[in-house]
Structure 1
Amino acid sequence: MAVQFNLKLWILFCFVLLCSPLHCQASDPNLCEKIYKIGGSSALINSPECSYWKPLNDEASTTFCQTATLLGQQQQRQEDRALCSLDVYMPLSRKEEVKVGVTAVFDGFKGSQASDMASKMFLDMFSLHVQLLSQTDHSISGSEVLREAVVRAINDINTIFSADAQARNLHAGSTATISLMVDGKILVANVGNSKTFLCSKKTLPPSLESFLGRHAHKTFAKELTKDHSPDRDDEKARVEASGGYVLDSRVNGELPISRSIGAISYARNGVISTAEITDWRDLTAEDVYLVAGTSSVFEKMSLDEACEILSEEGASKSPGASMADLLVNTAFKKGSFDNLAAVVVALNNLSPARPEENDDVHVRMSRTDEL
């Protein structure tokens, strides 16, 4: 693989060297697409011909994000990562941008290298692909651009990490559960068995609410992800078709998930990094919290129980209380042994879309009207 990668870089070098100003226009989206196809995202980032792309800055707001990680019982190192940024402005062209809220949890195993790389690279990779798709394919809507950008970003991270893992003999892997929020809608991408769900209020008739008092405002969970368990019929079929087997709900009797970033020793046996993605769905007035967590957070606690805990804490209005810390600490006390990571977003606190400061720079995206 290393030889093939170097050959691609050599082809890219020759391509750029021979591309004179007479033949190539700076920031030509078609050229940038070719550079990406030849050398991947790393080549695109470093190409002077694609100057329109720039990494995200670190100024995205986390005011209403709460993230927490906790070292599990009998664990020696923290391998999980959490990410939350609610004011990420994605340029869908040179003049147009859309505000995206992003949450993510990465559950690392056999080392923290995969989860660490994924958490550090995802936003920039996602931004890169939003810009690349927007520049090269005007036939797809804003919703499709964002959806496809998530898939490409995860795949790129897996490709980069897998090459590094092979060179350094690393066996690490990571799950990923990532949500995007745009204009009151949400989309979730999932790899592995981490979870994303909404905590929603039950709607009751006013007379019943009056009778039940505070008990009328209980919440329940709307799960937005499906675990990639080797026991799932479709996942098991792919593993077996690739020469692997499922024993005790594990790939080859070892790996408890059938999709992962990294985990290169299982790639030949049908373990893939392709994300399973939901359709865009509306966030409603009944949706109170968005929650993402590693599987260990819910090892001894159901999703409905987690929602009830958050609801009770929210009702108590404890000053400075972190809902994410509350979840991981509760899971730890209940006996979860693995590392823990969680993200909690209070949806009723989300800020409105940024005002149009300058119509030439910050315009309302017509392409997102289809979300």
Structure 2
Amino acid sequence: MDLFDDLPEPTQTAGEASVQKTCPSPLEDRGSKRKRDAPDDDEVVEEQTLEEKKVCKGVPTLKGYVAARRGEREEMQDAHILLSDMKTCLSTLPTTVSRLAYFAVFDGHGGARASRFAAEHLHHTLALKFPKETENLDKLVKKCLLDTFRQTDEDFLKKASSQKPAWKDGSTATCMLVVDDMVYVANLGDSRAVLCRMEQEMQGGERKCVTLALSKEHNPTIYEERMRIQRAGGTVRDGRVLGVLEVSRSIGDGQYKRIGVISTPDLRRCQLTPNDRFIILGCDGLFKVFSAEDAVKYVLNVLQNGSVERKEGQTEEEGHYEAACQRLANEAVRRGCADNVTVILVSVSF
């Protein structure tokens, strides 16, 4: 069965766009899922050709903002990374691909080591495995993501088992890879990704916000997940694997891998359109107190209403997105979320 779950086809083709050139340095923070226990002429011609391709393909501009709160936890076990330009991580890139971006949230449990490891290493493995050819690109990107998650899990488990005592950390993962105007989301566990798309309600009417899920939750109460765990010899009690682990797929958690906890992500893809405003990636600390629709509406309200303070060098739009991201995380804590809260807000513009 194809693991890709395609979202609705765009109703409008992308327009002319620019490509974001900056590449922010990886940002890391540390929620708990367990109960506590100078170029030559040829180069110039090639660059011009690539610029023409960018205009034709209508590559959107993406900019990421992040807010992380420890909440009532003793330590920050979330980690995250924002790479608006991932091309610098690759030695070669297919000539037809003009932009590569990567954003990810990792929610650790049992410690912060698995989430930190994934934030530091997963994108480098992804860069090494990224397709060199563009024929059947969707199929190759799918294989690349599956192989990357498997390799990252194996690498962490190898390191964890070599420690004295062995590490027992685990982590969710919600990773968004953007290839030109196509979004690929690979996720494990209960961190989530949602897209805000503005659509015309009726001819001549106002545009309304549609919230699209870009990820699928994995917990042992879901029938397919529970059956896999039970077939492997595990049990589900109180909604947790062996009564302890709250997610059914993760990176790490070596002691649960033999009883059906896997590191195979669900994959979804979605073509960005000029109707798309932003994407939210968040750990379950956010979505315990916000529904996906409420989170999107909260961000839209900040973007559309009121004045905000801008950082030096920020445009008014950037200031609004920064404020929306920070306020969303603050509101999750204010609503009583005791878990770590990490929010990545990615603006989309054509």
TM normalised by structure 1 equals 0.70
Structure-2 residue corresponding to 1:312 = 301
What are the ranges of 5 or more consecutive residues in structure 1 without an aligned counterpart?
1-57, 210-216, 351-371
Residue 163, structure 1, aligned to residue 126, structure 2: no
Distance (Å, rounded) in 2 between the aligned partners of 1:230 and 1:266:
12
Q: Which amino acid aligns with 1:310?
A: V
1:26-58 per-position Cα deviation (integer Å, ceiling 9, x unaligned): xxxxxxxxxxxxxxxxxxxxxxxxxxxxxxxx9
**How much has 1:61 moved relative to structure 2?**
4.8
The SS at the match of 2:84 is strand
Structure 1 equivalent of residue 280 of structure 2: 291
1:1-371 equivalences in 2 (<5 Å): 60-61=23-24, 64-73=63-72, 75-89=73-87, 90=90, 98-130=98-130, 133-134=131-132, 141-168=136-163, 169-205=166-202, 207-209=204-206, 218-278=208-268, 280-316=269-305, 318=308, 319=310, 320-321=319-320, 322=322, 323-348=324-349
2:94, 2:134 within 8 Å by CA — same for their partners in 1? no
RMSD: 2.3
Cα offset for 1:143?
2.6
- Report deviation, 1:97: 5.5
Do the aligned partners of residues 110 and 240 (structure 1) sit closer, same or farther apart at CA in structure 2, a change above 3 Å counting? same
1:331 partner amino acid: A
Q: Is the 8 A contact 2:102 2:176 kept in 1?
A: yes
Flag the structure with more relative contact order, 1 or 2, with Cα contacts below 8 A and sequence separation at least 6: 2
The answer to whether the Cα contact below 8 Å between 1:91 and 1:97 also exists between their aligned partners in 2 is no
Change (3 A) 1:245 1:315: same
Residue type of the alignment partner of 2:290:
M
How far did 1:285 drift?
2.3
Q: Cα offset for 1:96?
A: 7.0
Per the TM alignment, residue 243 of structure 1 is displaced from its structure 2 partner at its CA by 0.4
Q: Hey, what's the Cα distance between the residues in 2 that align with 1:238 and 1:297?
A: 28
CA contact (8 A) 1:91 1:98 kept: no
How far apart are residue 208 of structure 1 and its match?
A: 3.7
Residues 184 and 265 of structure 1: is their aligned pair in 2 closer, same or farther, counting only changes over 3 Å?
same
In 1, distance between residues paired with 2:210 and 2:175? 21
Task: From the two aligned structures, give the one with the greater helix fraction.
Answer: 1
Q: Aligned pair count? A: 278
Q: CA deviation at 1:326?
A: 1.9
Offset at residue 230 of structure 1 (A): 0.6
- Report the Cα offset of residue 247 of structure 1: 1.4
1:202 and 1:95 map into 2 onto residues whose CA distance is 33
Instruction: Return the offset for 1:145.
Output: 2.6
Deviations 1:225-265 (A, max 9, x none): 11011111111111001100111211111111100000111
- Cα deviation, 1:95-134, whole Å, max 9, x if unaligned, reads 775421111100001100000010011221111111xx53
**Residues of 2 paired with 1:296 and 1:221: CA distance?**
19
Kept in 1: contact 2:198–2:277 (CA 8 A): yes
Following superposition, the deviation at residue 271 of structure 1 comes to 0.3
Question: Equivalent residue for 1:38?
Answer: none
Q: Write the distance in 1 (CA, Å) between the matches of 2:127 and 2:82.
A: 15
Contact persistence 2:84–2:102 (CA under 8 A): yes
Would you say the 8 A contact 1:192–1:228 is kept in 2? yes
Name which of structure 1's ranges 310-319 and 188-197 shifts more when overlaid on structure 2. 310-319
Instruction: State how far apart, in whole Å, the 1-side matches of 2:78 and 2:250 are.
Output: 14
Paired amino acid for 1:85: L
Looking at structure 2, the residues matched to 258 and 106 of structure 1 have their Cα atoms a distance apart, in angstroms, of 15
Give the 3 Å change call, closer, same or farther, for CA 313–218 of structure 1 in structure 2: farther
**Deviations for 1:264-319, whole angstroms, at most 9, x for unmatched residues?**
111111001111112x3221222211110001101011111111111011113623
What is the deviation of 1:333?
A: 0.6
- Which of the pair has more CA radius of gyration? 1
TM normalised by structure 2 equals: 0.74
SS at match of 1:87: coil
Rounded to whole Å, the distance in 2 between the matches of 1:252 and 1:101 is: 38
What is the CA-CA distance between 1:76 and the residue it aligns to?
0.9
Q: Distance in 2 between matches of 1:94 and 1:224?
A: 26
Aligned residue type for 1:145: L
